[in-house]
Structure 1
Amino acid sequence: MLLKFRVANFRSLRDEQTLAFVPPPDEPSTMTRDLELSDGKALSVFPVLGIFGANASGKSNVLVALREMRKAVLTSYSSWTAHERLPREPFALDPKFAADSTFYEVDFVLADTGVRWTYGFELGDRRIESEWLHAYPKGRRQVWYDRDAARDRVFEFPGGRLRDRARLAETTRPDALLLTRAANDNHPQLTPVFAWFQQNLWDITPETEHRQREAYTAERLLEAHNRERIEELLRVADLGISGARVERKPGEQPRVQLMHGTQGGESFAIDWARESFGTRSWFALIGPILLALDKGAVLLVDELESSLHPKMAAEVVRLFQTPSMNTSGAQLLFTSHDASLLSLPRGGRLLDPGQIWLTEKDRGGGTELYPVADVDPGEEEDLTDSYLAGAFGGVPRLPAGKIGRSLRMTEEIQNAMEREAMGAGNS
């Protein structure tokens, strides 16, 4: 499970920002799960976090940063040789940050061992400036390796825990991560850490891979053990769907028809191209959701409410929050503009204050990321009302009617300029 993510100097995330799935010790929550660690202790972890904020405040950049960290781990050894500069996007609104490194770090727990790990690195323009891996098998930190490109001896391996140390140090290029290099040779100790990145931080955005996700869900419909679950999720979406047909001819993608019920109890099939975009978006999301729940993976969803009714977005959150549905420790990290996800229609909270994170830009254009718990809302406070009223920050600083007034003012200025130009032409 993912415990914490830190990032700095990436896009609008100028200063170091921290996203935590672990609530502070003095803020207990009914939404957390107890995660058994290798030292015999239990750690409370949230299965769901939501990031809210105004447009262009940097919400999506948090997810993109996680995706870019994963991509670096998976591809630095094989792909980065083709680049003169390492692929990174430092903060662009202040020139001094172009020379600073981009920083990433994650804390996570490997499910099969219960060992907590911390892994991170810093990217410069042309080399890995630093890289580190720490383990906590008995609750105390073990430094497995530490890399610093500014030292004469770039790699250090305190305690001698890592096998093949000399070979790894000699064969890891300045522009590649040691973790990627080790996994390329199936290193027995480091490959499980590498595999965590392979199996987590799956990224879903509304504009990309929509057809591929539809095709993936259709493939799952062909599997008997998944068909019932997919059809049930289609039915509970209140889309009027009673079931699904799927067939696949040799060499072709599966062909899906959703069955729509009538008041008389009959069902009829609708051609896939005639289904609404909302229905197709929900169908495309079901496959990745079920895969994450089955594998215990971390799923990243940008704009969860995109093309989904708020009720359905809330149901996605509930799937990950419900222990009987989420039996493998899967986690959901999403962004959203939909403030209704903060509260339940009949009172109560869908998300605790520690699960609600806000993004807000400062005067220099840098994004600040913080949980609502830091604002210390009251136990009975309606989080939706308070958020929309601006009590927590993270909402547009836009007085009512300002856009309309600005447009009218612009039109008046343009009309005045045109009249002045016509007057000058007639004189």
Structure 2
Amino acid sequence: MLIRFSVENFLSFSDKQYFSLLPGKGTLKSEHKSKKVKGVSALKTAVLFGANASGKSNLIKAIDFGKKLVLRGTKIDTKIDFQKFRLDSNLKDKNSRIEYEIQHSGKNYAYGFVFNNNEITEEWLYEIGIKSDIKIFERNKDSKEVFDLDYLLKGNKKIEEKQFIKFIAKGTPNNQLFLNEIRTRKVKENVSKIDDILNVIDWFQNSLKIIFPDDKYNEGLKFELKEDETLLTTFEEFLKYFDTGINGVCLEKIDYESVDIPKLILNKIKEELLNKKSENFRASILSNKNTTYFLTIKDEDLIVHKFMTKHKVLGNEEFEKFDTSDESDGTNRIMDFIPLMMDLLKGDNVFIIDEMERSLHPNLIYDLIDLFMSKGKNVNSQLILASHESSLLTQKLLRKDEVWFVVKDFNGSSKLHSLEEYNIRFDKEIRKDYLLGRFKAIPKIGNRNKLTVLPNQS
């Protein structure tokens, strides 16, 4: 679970801004709060509203940037690729800062780093509690000892383990996070007590899932449909529930030559699959123009299946099979969100989605959130959205502390504030006030009479 995120001097954010999933004082909709972990619970959903270019997507990009830096790192002798806030010359030489407060594997953590395009100047990981915090490690390039590893060294009793930890820390490049170095240098195999670091890495790798408007989610789940009848039934029930007009889905084996993917790419995938040691992972998923292909290896040959939909034919008991590229954008969007919803309800997932409403009817996006909240009462997962869909702005669906606004100030800097900051009754209809500009997160449209380049029709 994401408890809180802060960002400073990154893209459209100048001074430090906080995005918090900590519940406010409201007592309504208690099922929207997660089960407490060491006294701390988090909200299961949040929706970010704001005008175009207000900074909603930039907040998600900041969260995604940190994830990529942890999991992918930065190549040696290359710059850390990001943009500082560019509309204030005073910030040109100031460092940027990102911090995550998360909940994972029964603990609460604060992990963050200070950085610029050339180096990581600070990095820290704490286990956080209500009364006190435990420092797992700290890094500060201006300190006499760059790394404070006391906690890790005390937990690892063997001399060779202590030496290995110090060796990895000392060898961490200036432009690389210590967490990335731990992940890529086989520290787990050589050190016995680094569970907290591994927990945080696992959260970034397996819990945090960020989806931008053109992304597709987890077609790998669709691959399992071939073997799992229960999963197939669940998928088809969702398609019926969302009134797609689709009666079923299937995987159709097709000829290798008919795949609408460049052969160079297919051959590269085949080579990668052949090189994989475990039979369990010798599969790949590829999408092109709303068509999804599943590629597997059998007896050294590449086998291709296409994900297809089935429709009833009037006067015939047979089904007509459709390529998913023949389905509407909205239907394909729904099919992407079905595995997402299934994973949400499994628990221990944080989905952050930019423009979830794209190609979806307002009633569908409303119901997706309501479905998650009603079926996920005993599940610790989160659904965080950036949206323009004002029909979601109702306290029938969301708590006040789940509604966030992003606005730009006079200097073009993005600011975050919550509906919790406003004195609004629980039964107050807030959508009208939002569209009238009470919460400031709407576009300021100018005087059309000043559009001198348009022809005068009077």
Report how far residue 62 of structure 1 moved.
Answer: 0.9
- In structure 2, the partner of 1:56 is 53
Quick one: which amino acid aligns to residue 23 of structure 1? P
Question: Matches of 1:162 and 1:90 in 2, distance apart?
Answer: 38
Quick one: which amino acid aligns to residue 59 of structure 1? K
Report how far residue 261 of structure 1 moved.
Answer: 7.7
Query: Is residue 439 of structure 2 the alignment partner of residue 392 of structure 1?
Result: yes
1:11-90 matches, within 5 Å, as 11-24=11-24, 26-30=25-29, 31-38=31-38, 41=39, 43-76=40-73, 79-83=74-78, 85-90=79-84
Question: Matches of 1:8 and 1:119 in 2, distance apart?
Answer: 15
Query: Is 161-170 or 175-184 further displaced after alignment?
Result: 161-170
Quick one: which amino acid aligns to residue 107 of structure 1? E
CA contact (8 A) 1:242 1:259 kept: yes
SS in 1 for 2:127: strand
Report how far residue 69 of structure 1 moved.
Answer: 0.6
**Normalized against structure 1, the TM-score is what?**
0.84
SS in 2 for 1:202: strand
User: CA distance change for structure 1 residues 328 and 380 in 2, over 3 Å: closer, same or farther?
Assistant: closer
Question: Matches of 2:382 and 2:114 in 1, distance apart?
Answer: 26
Query: Is 280-289 or 246-255 further displaced after alignment?
Result: 246-255
Quick one: which amino acid aligns to residue 99 of structure 2? E
Report how far residue 240 of structure 1 moved.
Answer: 2.1
User: CA distance change for structure 1 residues 244 and 12 in 2, over 3 Å: closer, same or farther?
Assistant: same
User: CA distance change for structure 1 residues 150 and 46 in 2, over 3 Å: closer, same or farther?
Assistant: same
For these two proteins, the number of residue pairs brought into alignment is 393
CA contact (8 A) 1:304 1:336 kept: yes
Quick one: which amino acid aligns to residue 102 of structure 2? F
Question: Matches of 1:217 and 1:311 in 2, distance apart?
Answer: 25
Query: Is residue 96 of structure 2 the alignment partner of residue 102 of structure 1?
Result: yes
Deviations 1:47-106 (A, max 9, x none): 111101000000011111110010011122xx43151x2122111122332221121111
Question: Matches of 2:52 and 2:313 in 1, distance apart?
Answer: 39
Question: Matches of 2:413 and 2:97 in 1, distance apart?
Answer: 15
Query: Is residue 388 of structure 2 the alignment partner of residue 337 of structure 1?
Result: yes
| Residue from 92, 98, 119 that aligns with 1:127 | 119
Report how far residue 241 of structure 1 moved.
Answer: 2.4
Report how far residue 117 of structure 1 moved.
Answer: 0.8
Quick one: which amino acid aligns to residue 219 of structure 1? F
Query: Is residue 305 of structure 2 the alignment partner of residue 253 of structure 1?
Result: yes
- In structure 2, the partner of 1:421 is none
Question: Matches of 2:236 and 2:310 in 1, distance apart?
Answer: 9
SS in 1 for 2:62: helix
Question: Matches of 2:169 and 2:251 in 1, distance apart?
Answer: 52
Quick one: which amino acid aligns to residue 50 of structure 1? V
SS in 2 for 1:199: helix
| Residue from 192, 212, 221 that aligns with 1:205 | 212
Query: Is residue 413 of structure 2 the alignment partner of residue 363 of structure 1?
Result: no
CA contact (8 A) 2:247 2:309 kept: no
1:147-296 matches, within 5 Å, as 147-159=139-151, 161=154, 163=156, 164=162, 165-184=165-184, 185-186=187-188, 188-189=194-195, 190-208=197-215, 210=216, 213=217, 215-216=219-220, 218-222=222-226, 223-249=228-254, 251-259=303-311, 268-296=320-348
CA contact (8 A) 1:145 1:158 kept: yes
Query: Is residue 351 of structure 2 the alignment partner of residue 299 of structure 1?
Result: yes
Question: Matches of 2:169 and 2:219 in 1, distance apart?
Answer: 43
Percent identity for Structure 1 against Structure 2: 25
RMSD, matched Cα: 2.6
Quick one: which amino acid aligns to residue 88 of structure 1? F
| Residue from 319, 325, 332 that aligns with 2:371 | 319
- In structure 2, the partner of 1:410 is 453
Quick one: which amino acid aligns to residue 71 of structure 1? K
CA contact (8 A) 1:241 1:259 kept: yes
Structure 1 residue ranges without an equivalent (≥5): 416-427
CA contact (8 A) 1:214 1:283 kept: no
